[in-house]
Structure 1
Amino acid sequence: MNIKYILVFAFSLFFLSAGARPDKSKLSATTDTLIVKAYTDSLILYKHLSDSASTARIQNLEYPETDARFFRIFAPATFYHSIAARKMGLGNIQEKDTNDMEGEIDNALLNVYLHRPDLVKNSEKLIVDAGKVKENINAPIRNKVEYVKEAAPLPDEKPEMPVEVIVYKPNFWTFSGDYYLQFLQNYVSGNWYKGGESNYSMVASAMLQANYNNKQKVKFDNKLEMKLGFQTSRSDSLHSFKTSEDLIRYTGKLGLQATKKWYYTLQLIASTQFMRGYKSNDEFVYSDILSPLNINVSIGMDYNVSAFNKKLTGNIQLAPLAYNFRYVGRDALATRYGLDEGKRTKNDFGSEMTADLTWKFSDMIKWKTRLYAYTTYERAEIEWENTISFQLSKYISSNIFVYPRFDDGVKRDDDHGYWQLKEYASLGFAFSF
């Protein structure tokens, strides 16, 4: 059989089969199977032709056993300029012999170019741009190796120096203080239990706190308050000055955490004064150091207050069991402070409540309040201290102090009954840390 017609038939069958394919998006499984079968048949035919070409070479025909020109038939359809140049050139290019293998391949490809140009997807230019086909390599490839001197061995790493780790013992103590020295206008009711007189005066105050909290259910709060104020009065011919404010008070509280905000607590409150207290034109001593001395010990629960975005803070102590001890060093003051005549001490039991709160309205205005109540169910003592502070500058402030007090364990006053009142307004220097 003429090899020309065999090649034309094989090549046409392959591309006609491929050209008859619908769009990939519409192919069915049956169509895929037919395409694969057609392509497989074409490969079988190519193998047969290769074998025929080999046989022809044996018979002295010029068909080499391996000819790269066969690649153009079975590769994806590509437009080669050389084919068009040979077939359509004028004069200088002659038609190849029909037995020439290259001419037959050109005729097969040209037939596709003319009748099925839609199958031609590539061009010779694209192949050239992608890079030329490498020629057969007959000589061994020898890589150029650059030799360098042997690198010096890396020095042994020195062992890491021991790191000194310093662990600081946690400090569970916090300290704070508040001081002021101010001038004031003072009002004292006529039956105030420590004496005094309404007039202008000045007062100094110091409040120190040392609190312990180990963050493991134990806390120990300590607060020491000291106030001392003096006043002078032209109406007083016996005293050049008198005390208008006199206080030494210690509050200690040991707590064991029960819940997030509740503590079981043991509280101690001890209070007395620095100096003797007089009234105008009166030699009688109404109060003195350790006269009286009050000590209150209570067992109860303490609640930590934190409200209004932490603007209201403090604690409230509720003690169903409390012991109160009172001592008077001057015999003449016994009945004045609820003791039996001729005695210097008094012991009783009852219940106690203490609320110590601070409400910070703004950076300039702050309200401190302390409410203390103790009752034996036969008598009651209630003290409510209120201090409104106006911070005018870093070191200048103004205070308004209002202190109502109720005590039905003393002699009733004809005008005020069992109620007592103390009030003053002041302006002066203040310092906190």
Structure 2
Amino acid sequence: MRITCTLFLSIVFLSVLKAQEINAATSQEETKTQVPEKISFIIKKDTFPSLLYQKYFWAHDSLCHDSLPPLNLTLDADYYRLFVPLAYYNAPIKQISEMNWRFQLPDVVSYPISEYLPFDIDKFNKTERINKVANNVLIRLYVDCPDLVVNTEDHIMSRQVYRDEEVKMSPKTSVIELFKPETVADVGEANILIRKPNFWYSGGNGSFQMTQNYLSKNWYKGGESSNSMIGNLQLFANYNDKEKLQIENIFEIKIGVNTVPSKLDTMRIYRINTDVFRLSSKIGWQAFSKWYYTVSGEFNTQIFHNYTANTNDLISSFISPANLTFSVGMDYKLKNKIVNLSVVVSPFSYNWRYISNDKVNEKRFGLEEGRHSLNDFGSKLQTTLAWTIVPTVTLNSRLYYFTNYKKIEAEWENTLNFMLNRYLSTKIFLHFRYDDGIQRMKDYNYFQLNELLSFGLNYKW
């Protein structure tokens, strides 16, 4: 029964196949006159184009026949041997020479074929499968078209792979030879330029500070509006030869103005409260470590006139008074990133005071009545300190002490600077003064104080 069914199906399959061949031949004759010659040549090769043929060869046919529409080709580098100049490779000959026969005993179970594996192994042997197909094509080319072979695999592999040139150093090369100077052609004599070091350095800082307070005339608690301004300019030019000699020159101007309440002074709206014009110089020669033999000098006075309230009585003016000091002693210096300290001890000091304006009361400044100058010999102590507490807070202090062993004159100036940025800052200025050689005002002692809190511009260079 099984044999009978098999024969019946075979007869039916052959009948259907024969009918398809007859129909295909008829269709080919009908369309032969309508299709270009190149397309008919393709159809002859495969009368019934299958899906596999269209997938693998239709796109390549479009490259050889202009009448076919161009199709996108997916490039695959594994087929490179079919598209480069034909060469004789060893792999095709080796493939056809292999024997796939494997010895197997009759009673031994055969190896499972790929159809029964639980996963698709084609994803892992793509290159192997492509190489087998390419080897078969190459074998046909070697047999049918041997004249197309232009190279061999052995010749290709004998060529060197392109690489950057590498300089190989002989292991016997002496190390001294590596540092041997190369011979240089005669280029003439070199022009030698000698630059002398500049031991001078300069800089400075300036500020303009102000305070303001406004009260309307009908303010319920009374009072008056007030304004105050203070400007400061300090320049320096110093010399340091990095060995023994040091020179310091400082020039300073400080002017402060404030409004005067009408009840205190009906003649003036503004009044000078700070007026300093100072020029100092110091020459030091290093004795040992941080100590220097020092000769120093200082000149100071004021610029503007200053009057007593509600009068035209002149208190002080330019060169009235003027002080000139010379001293000899030792200077201790300490300088680092945070502190810059200088302490000058002068056991021998000379102080000359001069008043040029006859309208100024000379007794107010320690001079005898009718005299314009005063000479004092004594000792002096002067200290300057620049302390960077934090990067935005600095303290500048100056202490001056002079005595002729009969009277004492001392000043202590302190400026605390709070820097908001490079250009804005708030300053607190405190100036203490003691002088028992001047005429004392009624109800006051010899101690004097000047204080100012201000906000404004600040610049340093």
The counterpart of 2:248, out of the listed 195, 201, 221, is 221
Offset of residue 353 of structure 1? 0.6
8 Å Cα contact 1:218-1:257 kept in structure 2: yes
Mapped pair 1:162 → 2:194: no
Distance 2:349 2:342 in 1: 18
8 Å Cα contact 1:184-1:203 kept in structure 2: no
Offset of residue 158 of structure 1? 3.1
Deviations 1:32-54 (A, max 9, x none): xxxxxxxxxxxxxxxxxxxxxxx
**Structure 2 equivalent of residue 299 of structure 1:** 328
Matched residues, percent identical? Answer: 37
Offset of residue 216 of structure 1? 2.8
The counterpart of 1:358, out of the listed 386, 397, 415, is 386
8 Å Cα contact 1:375-1:381 kept in structure 2: yes
8 Å Cα contact 2:210-2:455 kept in structure 1: yes
| Cα pair distance change 1:400/1:157, threshold 3 Å | closer
Mapped pair 1:391 → 2:415: no
Distance 1:346 1:361 in 2: 41
Offset of residue 244 of structure 1? 1.9
Q: Secondary structure at the match of 1:286?
A: strand
One-letter code aligned to 1:387: T
Distance 1:278 1:310 in 2: 44
**Structure 2 equivalent of residue 418 of structure 1:** 446
Q: Secondary structure at the match of 2:356?
A: coil
Distance 2:305 2:232 in 1: 18
Offset of residue 234 of structure 1? 4.1
Backbone CA RMSD of aligned residues: 1.9
Deviations 1:406-425 (A, max 9, x none): 00001233433110110000
| Cα pair distance change 1:201/1:279, threshold 3 Å | farther
Distance 1:389 1:157 in 2: 61
**Structure 1 equivalent of residue 237 of structure 2:** 210
Matches within 5 A, 1:140-179: 158-179=185-206
Distance 1:178 1:162 in 2: 48
TM-score, structure 1 as length reference = 0.59
Mapped pair 1:343 → 2:371: yes
| Cα pair distance change 1:158/1:284, threshold 3 Å | same
| Cα pair distance change 1:157/1:363, threshold 3 Å | closer
| Cα pair distance change 1:202/1:157, threshold 3 Å | closer
One-letter code aligned to 2:342: N
| Cα pair distance change 1:199/1:285, threshold 3 Å | farther
Deviations 1:169-213 (A, max 9, x none): 110101110100010489xxxxxxxxxxx9631011100000011
Deviations 1:218-249 (A, max 9, x none): 11110011011222224132124221211100
Distance 1:199 1:282 in 2: 21
Matches within 5 A, 1:36-47: none
**Structure 2 equivalent of residue 65 of structure 1:** none
The counterpart of 1:371, out of the listed 399, 402, 414, is 399
One-letter code aligned to 1:209: F
Distance 1:341 1:299 in 2: 31
**Structure 2 equivalent of residue 254 of structure 1:** 283
Q: Secondary structure at the match of 2:316?
A: coil
| Cα pair distance change 1:166/1:349, threshold 3 Å | same
Moved over 3 A (4+): 413-416
Whose relative contact order is higher, 1 or 2, with alpha carbons under 8 Å and at least 6 apart? 1
Matches within 5 A, 1:66-145: none
Distance 1:259 1:384 in 2: 29
Deviations 1:122-143 (A, max 9, x none): xxxxxxxxxxxxxxxxxxxxxx
Distance 1:157 1:313 in 2: 52
Offset of residue 330 of structure 1? 2.4
Distance 2:212 2:409 in 1: 26
Kindly tell me the number of residue pairs found equivalent between the two proteins. 265
Distance 1:363 1:301 in 2: 31
| Cα pair distance change 1:399/1:162, threshold 3 Å | same
8 Å Cα contact 2:298-2:324 kept in structure 1: yes
**Structure 2 equivalent of residue 408 of structure 1:** 436
One-letter code aligned to 2:294: T
Distance 2:337 2:405 in 1: 36
TM-score, structure 2 as length reference = 0.55
Mapped pair 1:276 → 2:276: no
Q: Secondary structure at the match of 1:258?
A: strand
| Cα pair distance change 1:412/1:244, threshold 3 Å | closer
One-letter code aligned to 2:355: V
Question: Could you list the runs of 5+ residues in structure 1 that have no partner in the other structure?
Answer: 1-155, 187-197
**Structure 2 equivalent of residue 40 of structure 1:** none
Offset of residue 360 of structure 1? 0.6
Offset of residue 157 of structure 1? 6.1
Deviations 1:29-78 (A, max 9, x none): xxxxxxxxxxxxxxxxxxxxxxxxxxxxxxxxxxxxxxxxxxxxxxxxxx
8 Å Cα contact 1:184-1:424 kept in structure 2: no
8 Å Cα contact 2:365-2:439 kept in structure 1: no
**Structure 1 equivalent of residue 273 of structure 2:** 244
